[in-house]
Amino acid sequence: MSGKEFRKKQKLANRLRLGVLILILVVLTVFGILHQYPKGWRPAGVDAFCPFGGVESLITVLTTGRFLERIALSSFILLLATVITAIVFRRSFCGYLCPLGTLQELFGRLGKKILSKRHALAPSVDRYARYGKYIVFILVVVFSAVLGELVFRPYDPWVAYQHLTSDELFSSLLVGFIVLILSLIGSFFFDRVFCKYLCPLGGFLGILAKVGYFRIRRNEKSCIDCKACTKVCPVNIPVAELQEVTSAECISCNLCVNACPVENTLIIEGKRKGHVAPVSVLVATLGIFLLVVGVSTYTGGFAWSVKSIQEITLKTGTFNPDEIKGSDTWKAVSELSGIPKEEFVKTFGLTDAEFEGTLKEWAHKPGSTREVSEVREYVKKRLGK
Ligand code: SF4
Ligand code: SF4
């Protein structure tokens, strides 16, 4: 292949990668906005579209057989796809699909354009700060299992981003919103700040990446030591000094491979030799997700939209209090459970107007500290379930 053709191929691979990242970010942003509005098609909530929900809920599911509140089967389906990609391509979820990574990357590109340079923490600080994401990962998994709730949710910048149009942003998600703002400002100066230091999913995938089949290998004989690979790496891996990139920090973005000017010098190689192109990693990572999500959608396991308690009861033939959500109305819960309006009004201090509205509207009214889960638990107890 001529040098020109080779460079063209690398540019195309980078553009395709960015295109896919932006497309996923746009789709999920639209889902986040639509989820906040009760009218029309309402996509499932942010927790149902994040594989980390599956990680957070794993111990609870294994020990009690129940999901944590807000977690759906789709979280586990996405987790399965993420684990498969990690076993094959390490952290390609981070490098090719993660929308929070995309947001940081876009701010990083903006920073690079305006400042014409990237900053990095002092190696002595950076080395220890990177353990942050593993600590967050362990704390989140343990405390979610012990307390039986999504403990990271109020601090999660992605959850905050998905609630930019919700009144929850400045109440229960304020800390997450601050983390989001700080991560984006930080990414303007330093690359992928949240990914490098705090992301619990990054911590989980970093551990899993150690068994990943493909890795980047540098051919020392043909390397001209230009250091283009090191300069472009968003997580500051000194690629030009390594024979193989086996670091758990590598987000498998393959930007280094696409920056190397010498063909066949940086390659993505399997443990038993044989190598693949960056575009193939993109296609395969996306393909694994589309296949897993497609099959589970076809078989009914992946729920794309929020189903009301009436729809679920009609479909299953039984009223299950565990399915009560914030978007359900008091009226519907009262009718389906057989618990009279007066009892709800007295127990939860409702006005007549509130009874006509949704549980979420009641729980999130100004100054309220009430939770939708209180209603769910009350109905369960009242019906002896
Ligand atoms: S080493 Fe290469 S693939 Fe890994 S994060 Fe850095 S640029 Fe991306
Ligand atoms: S970009 Fe390629 S040639 Fe340049 S230092 Fe890295 S591996 Fe060597």
Q: Which ligand is nearest to the CA of 241?
A: 2
Ligand 2 center–CA 260 separation, angstroms: 5
Q: Decide whether any atom of ligand 2 lies within 6 Å of the 262 Cβ.
A: yes
Question: Residue ranges of the alpha helices (H) in 299-382?
Answer: 309-316, 330-337, 341-348, 352-356, 359-363, 372-382
User: Around Cβ 146, how many Cβ atoms within 10 Å?
Assistant: 11
Q: What is the pLDDT of residue 264?
A: 93
Instruction: Tell whether the model's pLDDT for residue 337 goes beyond 80.
Output: yes
pLDDT tens, 278-316? 999 999 999 999 999 999 999 988 989 888 899 889 988
pLDDT > 90? residue 84: yes
Which of 178, 204, 206, 202 lies closest to 192 in space, CA to CA? 202
99-117 residue pLDDT tens: 999 999 999 999 999 998 8
Atom of ligand 2 nearest to the CA of 230: 6
pLDDT of residue 296: 96
190 alpha carbon – ligand 1 mean position (Å): 15
pLDDT reading at 11 higher than 80? yes
User: Residue 267: nearest ligand to its CA?
Assistant: 2
- What pLDDT is attached to residue 101? 97
pLDDT surpasses 90 at 4: no
| pLDDT, tens only, 112-160 | 999 988 899 999 999 999 999 999 999 999 999 999 889 999 999 999 9
DSSP codes of every residue in 86-114: HHHHSSHHHHHT-HHHHHHHHHHHHHHHH
Evaluate: CB of 255 within 6 angstroms of ligand 1.
yes
Residue 44 has pLDDT above 80, yes or no: yes
Locate 146 and state its tokens. 């012990």
> Are 279 and 13 spatial neighbours (Cβ–Cβ below 8 Å)?
yes
Element housing 216 (H / E): strand 215-218
Distances in Å between the Cα of 85 and the Cα atoms of 97, 206, 211, 252, 282 are 11, 12, 11, 11, 10
Model pLDDT, residue 65: 80
Indicate whether residue 226 lines ligand 2 (CB < 6 A).
yes
- pLDDT bucket at 274, cuts 50 / 70 / 90: confident
- Look at residue 41 in the predicted model and tell me its pLDDT: 83
pLDDT recorded at residue 117? 84
Is 225 close to ligand 2, i.e. is its CB under 6 Å away? yes
What percentage of the chain has pLDDT greater than the value 90? 72
| pLDDT > 70: percent of the chain | 100
What mean pLDDT value characterizes the chain? Answer: 93
Please tell me the distance between residue 18's alpha carbon and the centre of ligand 1 in angstroms: 15
